[in-house]
Structure 1
């Protein structure tokens, strides 16, 4: 079954939600932007107008008094005279020009233009007084020109303020009316958008919940054991369609996995049976019994008892109460029992060392993993060489795994035979000294990343390395 390919009419839930959001948000954003634009424009206009009124009010309050007083002191040549008030007049001209640039009403512009003209005339009259030396003429100019002009400037500024205040009030009334109209319009549009969005949301919800209910029924059927492939749930939503197809694919793969696991379990049982049968080797049992009889006849009762005890331990560990996996500590004791039995028989040629790190004792290992390797080392390595031989069984932790090595200093394996054994292990062929059987069992238990590796040098010895993951027994037994 191929993955579901998205068709033109099939949209994702995210796409449908996005379209629903856009259909509601875009009109709302446009309305909001328009309202904000109008409010911003009005606010700027209102603030500019209010600024003009405030500035003109402040100017009109002290302009006439300041100019008249300074000119009076100048004319009478008072000690309080600060000179001609040209700076104040120029500031008034700058202010009038600023107000003229920002004023839009005709009457207000006429008034402020008159203020500007009068300020220019006032400036001329001030300079004229400076050229007059006669006190009486100065007084006449002060009363007939300066006082009159400042009074006119003040009057026109009042006129400007009046027209601006009237316009400000009119603008506020217009704004209130505009706000009311906009509120009504926005309310109507929002109600329309809510109704439209509700309708679309209801349709979208139905298109999602219906298929999800069907999908839930299908999952419930799978949980009760219905692992037959069904037609996927049909939906307009891409995710739901894909999820349904994925569920059916999962069911198909689960069926295939169950069949594969059944085959693996059958293979594993056959392998375990073959290993168990190999351990109950009649020749090994006969030879061990002969050795026990010989020890008894030689009045070596204690050694005979120990050998019987080791033989009992050996078979008890081989059976392991029917368990497939045992602790590494138990597997180590099993190997020790086997080596102790064999050392009595081959005490002239066999020495051994078992050194498995104690902290690894609780990790699990498939039973009957190390003993076949030790047996190979004895029969195909040590016995084939002349003189004393040594078997080393070592266990250590390495990169999150447990690494076990069985090494002998026997005759080793010829290069051609070594390559044949490696190829047989890679292909799962049961040839050689039982290495393929052990290798296959470990891979069945832990996966293809684990198993045996074989190294050997002819005349030097052989090392078989076992790599398994760190797993505790309770982890294996947890469902």
Structure 2
């Protein structure tokens, strides 16, 4: 058929049929655009569903695992029941089965995670599960041998519960990072949406006004659907972030808070408004850094601000015996460290060094390079310790002995354990002391994990 014949055929059509032909001709490129849109929505929908599925799996253990596992181990210790008999005698799940369920899930999450940080958190959970199984086996073997109840209970408090807390923190980190991928998906969807709208606009410019109005209507409907999907992504992201449950890495002695509040009341009754303002400001900074937005690591600058707030508060109570000096070169302030590292060490220096020395003393905090690593020194000229007490405290800090919560070395043991779990066995605390002269605690941590 010649062009003339085609022209006569089209000219012979009614206006309605011409419009129909025009619409049919336009449906071809429009169909391609629609197919592209559906493909894009399906691709992002699959990514979104994968993130939601990963978060849901992790959140299941975030809410349940730590509490259930600690409860089962407590029953094992309290009743001297081995893990192989715990189901038969009490109807509880074998702890090995509990960790295996988590391990299987996080093995899959390592592969399916959409975020590199989330994948690292999942891998960290797997490593901690292996450590947890080993500590559980230690308790189980001790039960089989008829070991002392106190030994098992100490292992439960200082090993099992510390590790399950770390596992829960890593799971919460995984949820946080994986949920963050939703924002990336939303941004990518928005970018694709803008590209699509521009393509449609350019397409309509070269064709008839009627088709332009038609496609604008369809584009508006599509935009509305995308906005709904974006709203759902934002809502899911907010809900996922609300699931993040970060616990403090170190316990704060309630007597410290009580004494601080008593000091505030005493200063207020004495009309010392400036002192009240100072101590309240220091207390606020202290707890702000303690919480630190749920972060595991903070900068040296934040950690020093935290410990300086603590010392300022303590000076209101011990102004006659306590002095302190902080000498941290500016080059170190940008490095990062596990939060709440210094406070237990400084607290130990104050309560077991300075307070026990007639006339008081000074706590000095300094920092320097130690080979390829970093070292913070906390030094006091308090009463000091003899060689036997120093060795005992070093064993607690090295995890060779388990400290009770009422033990003077509990805080030091807690810091040492957290540093080993996060940095490795070659890092932690080194304690040097001489009775009558004072004590120095050297805190070693890796530079590559900090900056």
Normalising TM by the smaller chain, what interval?
Answer: 0.3 to 0.5
The TM-score with structure 2 as length reference comes to 0.46
The TM-score with structure 1 as length reference comes to 0.43
Greater Rg over alpha carbons, structure: 1
